[in-house]
Structures are given as structure tokens and as C-alpha cells.
Chains A and B, each alone.
Chain A
Amino acid sequence: MVIDFNTAAILAMVCWTIGSLLDLLSRKSAALKLPAFLIAFGGTMVMVAYIAIYWSFLGRPPLRTLGETRLWYAALIPLAGFLVEYRWKISWLKYYCMALAGFFLVINLLHPEVFDKTLMPALQSPWFIPHVVVYLVGYVLLAASSVAALHNVSLQLRSKKNDAGETAAHYLALLGFVLLTFGLIFGALWAKEAWGHYWTWDPKETWAFLSWLAYLGYLHAFRYKIDRGKLQWYLALSFIVLLVCWFGVNYLPSAQNSVHTYTQS
């Protein structure tokens, strides 16, 4: 391969760090604003390029193992941060997003995987890419929503109010919920084709359903005009459910007979 993972990961993290530092300095001198963005964005582009190269090297989309999906999170979560800044003029979210992306890359650096180019028959389906991509983007938005909510909670603890931040957390959760709903249903339609039944309460399915319920609860609580400030706690804590879905499921006692254990390693 033209570039190996360690080089790409370290390059991306260096770009994000320098970009963030310059961005903080740009509060004093506005001329730094553009270079700061370009460098941070460049870090993300390194990850995007790496995924493209890796994809062509494997000859199949790198969406099969947990380590491979972490590559996508690392590329997409900062993008969500940049989009939020562009759309809602909220600049702090992207720092958290880049930190979270760095966290995913560090996990991969510490746990290198054996490259395996094979794709088992059940995954060779037209549903594979839409199902996983919709979920990835959904989880990325919900992670960004939780990060925004956490920031809002910390402001509240210092008796500050941040309306724009609460709006951002809300819309990120809403969009994330929409994608989660699609992901869940695509998964069900695919399961019918591949395994014969659309829903079997497999642990992975159960946990995906749980995270969907968490955000369903949020949307209804929001509709019921529960104080938006209090709901920031809820959104921030929903992150724990997401974490179990990402990493935890394979370690639960119920996972012994999961059909989804191919994502292990």
C-alpha cells in the first residue's frame, strides 16, 4: 500500500492538533482562521484518502470489522463538527469531534488487526453498504449530539445558558434518529434475505433497538415540552448506550450466540 495506517493516523492527528491550536489563536488574529480550517480539514482528508486506498487494497469495502468501522468514525466525526460550525456557527464542537476521532485512531494504533481480504457470503449483499453506512453516519451524528450536550451540561454547571448549543444538540439527535430508523429497518429487510427472519432479538439487534428507543424517548420528551436544559443530561448520557453498541456487545454474556460476532477483532 502507498501509505500505511500508522503514518496516516499520526499525520491526521498532527493536522487536527495544529489546526485546533491555530483556530484557538485565530480568536486574536482573524487571518489565521482559514489556514487553521485548511489544516484541520486536511487531517480529515488524510483519513478519507487512507480509507479509499485501503478499500482498493482490500478489494472490498472496509466495513467488516470493528477496527475498520473506527476508521470511518475517525474520518466522519470531524466532518460533522465542521458542518455544524458552517451551519450553526458553533465553533467549539469540532474540537471535541477531532479529539473523539483521535481516540478512535489511538485504539486502532494500539490494536493492529490482521488484514483479511475475505468477505463471508452473508455479507455479500446489496444491503451491506447502505445498512452499515447509514448506521455509521447516524452514530456519528448522535456522538456529535452527545458531545454538544455534554458541553451544554458543563456550561449549565457554571450557570451559563447556551441556546444555540442546545438547538444544535437537538437537531443532531433528530437527524441521528432518522438515520438510526433507516439503519434498523434496512437491517431487518437484509436479515430476512440472508438469515430468513427480519428480527430475532439477537444481542446486537437488541442493543440497536435500545439505542433507537433512547432517542425515541428523547424526541417525545422534547415534544412534551420537558425543560430543554434538563434534556441535555439525557442526551449526554445516551452516549453510554451508543458505546455499548459500538464496543460492548461482544463482551456481554448474551453475545455467545450472536450472528454478528464477525465484527469481532
Chain B
Amino acid sequence: MVVVRRRWFQAPWEFREAFLVTAMVIVAGFFVEYLGAGGGIPLLHLPVNAIALVIFALMVLGAGLAFRNSAVVQWLGGIPLGLALIFAIAVLSLIGGIVPQGDAVAGSLSAMLRINQIFSSWPFFLTVLFFLANLGLGLSWKLFPFSMKNLQFILFHAGFWLALSCGIFGSTDLQRFVVPIEIGKANNLGYSMNSDTPQQLPFSIFLQNFSLEEYPPQLLLYDPQNDKLLVERSQAIIQVRKGVTASWKGVEVEVVDYLSYALRGSDGEPQAADRKAGMPFAKVRISSGGAPFEAWISTGSPMLKPEAADLGGILLIMVPGSPKSFNSAVSIQGENGEQKTATLGVNQPLSFSGWKLYQMGYDEKMGKWSQLSLIEVIRDPWLPAVYLGLFMIMAGNILFFWNGIKHSEVA
């Protein structure tokens, strides 16, 4: 039997041509990157990037509609090229998922080819452009003439087109700055990673208060000779509360009293104190072989040393719990007089005239005594378009789930 094999570039084009062209796109991208010494793609800002994107979209739609019978255009908008491009994006993401992203030695091959910042490199950008062209051509054929039957296809593919194109083209307009503020002061200067000079913001933030709540402190055994914490694997971490008991090899500990905010009084006994000054104190009863004894231990604070109980060479210590929540009470004053007072927390950002404010951090050395709050401010004018795309994909997803199940009834 003679198997007739299609020769290279003999119509109709399919996978071989798709993978070849895609490989050429990537190689060309790396070549351009090399010529520009790893400078990456030019950073266009609004409105130039938006205009470029609209022109690109119109060209793709126009080409799809005008040349829908051309074999080459059909191939350009077909699944074989789509698969090759999906594969290409996967390979480039794989590089980005394995090679640490960030700074590399200037002049090294990795920096020249921008492998250390692959997602803003020419090969990635060119692949995305081809991906958008391929996806856009397919869309043009399903959009015109419109039919309800194509709804799922349109939601998925147009949603992805929007989210991907606006995410990539709009990434240059993303502004994010960190604003450090001390309690009782205001700041309108934002700092960013890639610049030493602070940026003047169109509003100023006044920090009324910063508060941090911790999980209960933990009891641990510490070996000062070897500077080692003695933690048993598979042991529950002991959170200090009144009445909690713990036992390690030969040591029994019971917490007989616990004060979350206390200081030693004039008689030496710990007494409840206010939240700002006090620190956790626990009265523990310890039996380890000999007669049981009681002792007060504390976590310490930036001002006062921690107190531990000596078990003959080994110390029973109390370490502060991890942060449970931290919040900044702020009032914001805009350039043109708008004002807002609110409390910021992790996962509780605040919107203010096109910006979003996030509780980012604090002075970690000071812990809950921190006088400083780090607030991140972010502006992303392209966000609504990206979100529209994401919601379209989710709508398509629901249809797909529904139809997939319905199909299986037939199968």
C-alpha cells in the first residue's frame, strides 16, 4: 500500500506548518531581544497602547471577514496553529516557572535573552500577538453572522481575548507604590522598587492608629547551650490559655494563670496593663522529676526582656503568637477635597478615586508595638476590561459544564 504523505507547505496546511511557524516566531523574538541586549518590549502607556490594541483588533477582525475563504487565513485562525501557540505559551511559561524571575547578572546570556523576565520579553509578546490573531480570526467567523448556538464559544474565546490582551497591553499602566506612615502623621509620597525617587501621589494618607492582634503565644522548650528549639514532630503547637497543660519527655506543664497584657508591678507581681504597654504573662506550674514549682514567664517586648523558667539547663519559654490580623485606621484627603475615613486590613482594601489602598505591612521588629504602617496604593485603569473578560470566561464555563453534562446523557 502506498501512503500518500502531504509534503511541507502543500495545501491544506496543518500541524507541521503550525509548529514550524510558531518556532520561528519564538526564535525571532529571542533574536530581537538579543539585538536589544535584553531590553524587553517597549513600554507604551495610555492612550497609545489602547489605540494600538484597537487597531490590532480591527485588523484581525477585518482580515478574518475579508479573507475568510483564503486557505492561509483559515489556517491562521484554525485549531492546529492554536494548539502550536498554546504549546509555545506553555513552553515559555515553563521557562518562567523554572528559572527564577528577577534580576540576573547584566550581560549574561540569561539577561541578554531576557529569560529572567520572560513575561515581558519579545518572544513571549510575539507569541501572545500570534495567539490573539489566531483566536481573533476564529472569533470573527463565529461572531458574524451571530448565532445563539455559538454563545459558549464566543464567551470563552472573546473573554480570553479581552483578559489576555488587556492584561498584557495594560501592564505598563499599572502603578503600585508603598506609602510608609507613622502613627499621627500623614504622607503623600509613594516608593517603588524600580526607582529611588518617591512619587507624589494625588492624595495624602493620615494614619490615626495601627493595631495588631496576635494568636495566643506558644510554649516551647529551648536548649540555650545548642541554641535549639526542642520541637517534636507531630506534636500539636501549644497555645497558651489558662488551664492548658502540656507534657514533653518527663516535663509536665500547666498554665495556672494567663494575662494577655501585663507588666510587673512595684511588688514584682505581673498585673494587667493597657494594650499598648503590656505583654503576655503566664504563670506555669512545672513538674519535672523533683518537687513541682510555679513561675511567671513572658514573651518580652521591644522594651523588656522575655522571662523564661529554668528546668535545669533547659528553658521553658513563651514565644509571641503569629499575627492574626493587623489594621490601620486612616483618613485620606484627595487633591480636590474628597475625603474618606476607614480602617484598612489584609483582604480589606479600600477604593479611593481610582486607586486601591492595601494594608501591606508594618515594622516587624516591633510587632504589635509597631508605630509604622506600610500601605500599598495601586492604580490599574485596565482592570474593568480584564474583569469583563474573566466574567465572560466564567459564564462560558457554566454553559460548558451544563452542555458537557447534557452531552453525556446522549453518549
- In the complex the two chains form, is A167's CB within 8 Å of B98's CB? no
Inter-chain CA distance A19–B376, complex, in Å, is 55
Closest approach, in angstroms, between the C-beta of A239 and any C-beta of chain B? 16
Closest approach, in angstroms, between the C-beta of A215 and any C-beta of chain B? 10
- In the complex the two chains form, is A194's CB within 8 Å of B97's CB? no
Determine the residue in chain B with the shortest Cβ distance to A113.
Answer: B234
Most chain A beta-carbon neighbours within 10 Å: one of B347, B383, B390, B401: B347
Render B100-111 as a binary contact track against A, CB cut-off 8 A, 1 for contact: 111000000000
- In the complex the two chains form, is B102's CB within 8 Å of A257's CB? yes
Partner of B98, one of A117, A253, A257: A253
For the complex, is A114 an interface residue (Cβ under 8 Å from B)? yes
For the complex, is B2 an interface residue (Cβ under 8 Å from A)? no
Inter-chain CA distance A117–B237, complex, in Å, is 8
Inter-chain CA distance A85–B181, complex, in Å, is 60
Partner of A220, one of B83, B326, B376, B394: B83
Inter-chain CA distance A167–B93, complex, in Å, is 30
8 Å CB contacts to B: which residues of A226-265?
Answer: 252-254, 256-257
- In the complex the two chains form, is A220's CB within 8 Å of B93's CB? no
Chain B, interface size category, equals 35 or more
Closest approach, in angstroms, between the C-beta of A149 and any C-beta of chain B? 17
For the complex, is B201 an interface residue (Cβ under 8 Å from A)? no
A214 contacts which chain B residues (CB < 8 A)? 90
Determine the residue in chain B with the shortest Cβ distance to A189.
Answer: B390
Closest approach, in angstroms, between the C-beta of B9 and any C-beta of chain A? 20
Total A-B pairs in contact (CB under 8 Å)?
Answer: 126
Q: Given that A112-B233, A120-B323, A194-B346 are contacting pairs, would A253 and B101 also be in contact in the complex, using a CB cutoff of 8 Å?
A: no
Partner of A182, one of B98, B119, B345, B394: B394
8 Å CB contacts to A: which residues of B377-403?
Answer: 378, 380, 383, 386, 390, 393-394, 397, 400-401
Inter-chain CA distance A216–B325, complex, in Å, is 39
For the complex, is B7 an interface residue (Cβ under 8 Å from A)? no
For the complex, is A10 an interface residue (Cβ under 8 Å from B)? no
- In the complex the two chains form, is B324's CB within 8 Å of A201's CB? no
- In the complex the two chains form, is B93's CB within 8 Å of A120's CB? no
8 Å CB contacts to B: which residues of A152-208?
Answer: 167, 171, 174-175, 178, 181-182, 185, 188-189, 192-199, 201, 203, 206-207
Closest approach, in angstroms, between the C-beta of B185 and any C-beta of chain A? 23
8 Å CB contacts to A: which residues of B237-259?
Answer: 237, 239
Interface of A is mostly: helix
For the complex, is A209 an interface residue (Cβ under 8 Å from B)? yes
Q: Given that A120-B323, A121-B347, A193-B349 are contacting pairs, would A181 and B393 also be in contact in the complex, using a CB cutoff of 8 Å?
A: yes
A120 contacts which chain B residues (CB < 8 A)? 322-323
Inter-chain CA distance A145–B238, complex, in Å, is 42
Inter-chain CA distance A178–B394, complex, in Å, is 9
Closest approach, in angstroms, between the C-beta of B29 and any C-beta of chain A? 17
- In the complex the two chains form, is B347's CB within 8 Å of A178's CB? no
B394 contacts which chain A residues (CB < 8 A)? 181-182, 185
For the complex, is A217 an interface residue (Cβ under 8 Å from B)? yes
Partner of B411, one of A125, A167, A195, A196: A167
- In the complex the two chains form, is A224's CB within 8 Å of B79's CB? yes
Most chain B beta-carbon neighbours within 10 Å: one of A189, A196, A217, A257: A196
Closest approach, in angstroms, between the C-beta of B400 and any C-beta of chain A? 6
B residues apposed to A, CB below 8 Å:
79-80, 82-83, 86-87, 89-90, 93-94, 96-102, 119, 167, 174, 176, 215, 231, 233-237, 239, 321-326, 345-347, 349, 356, 358, 360, 376, 378, 380, 383, 386, 390, 393-394, 397, 400-401, 404, 408, 411
A residues apposed to B, CB below 8 Å:
112-118, 120-122, 124-125, 167, 171, 174-175, 178, 181-182, 185, 188-189, 192-199, 201, 203, 206-207, 209-210, 213-214, 216-217, 220-221, 223-224, 252-254, 256-257
Q: Can you spell out 19 A-B residue pairs with CB atoms less than 8 angstroms apart?
A: A113-B234, A118-B321, A121-B325, A121-B326, A121-B345, A171-B408, A174-B404, A181-B393, A182-B397, A185-B390, A185-B394, A201-B101, A206-B96, A207-B97, A217-B87, A224-B79, A224-B80, A254-B96, A254-B99
What are the nearest 10 A-B pairs in CB distance?
A: A112-B234, A121-B346, A206-B97, A115-B236, A125-B347, A224-B79, A213-B90, A178-B401, A118-B215, A174-B404
**Given contact pairs A175-B404, A181-B397, A182-B397, a sample of 9 additional A-B residue pairs in the complex whose CB atoms are under 8 Å apart:** A114-B236, A122-B346, A171-B408, A174-B404, A189-B390, A197-B176, A201-B101, A213-B90, A224-B79
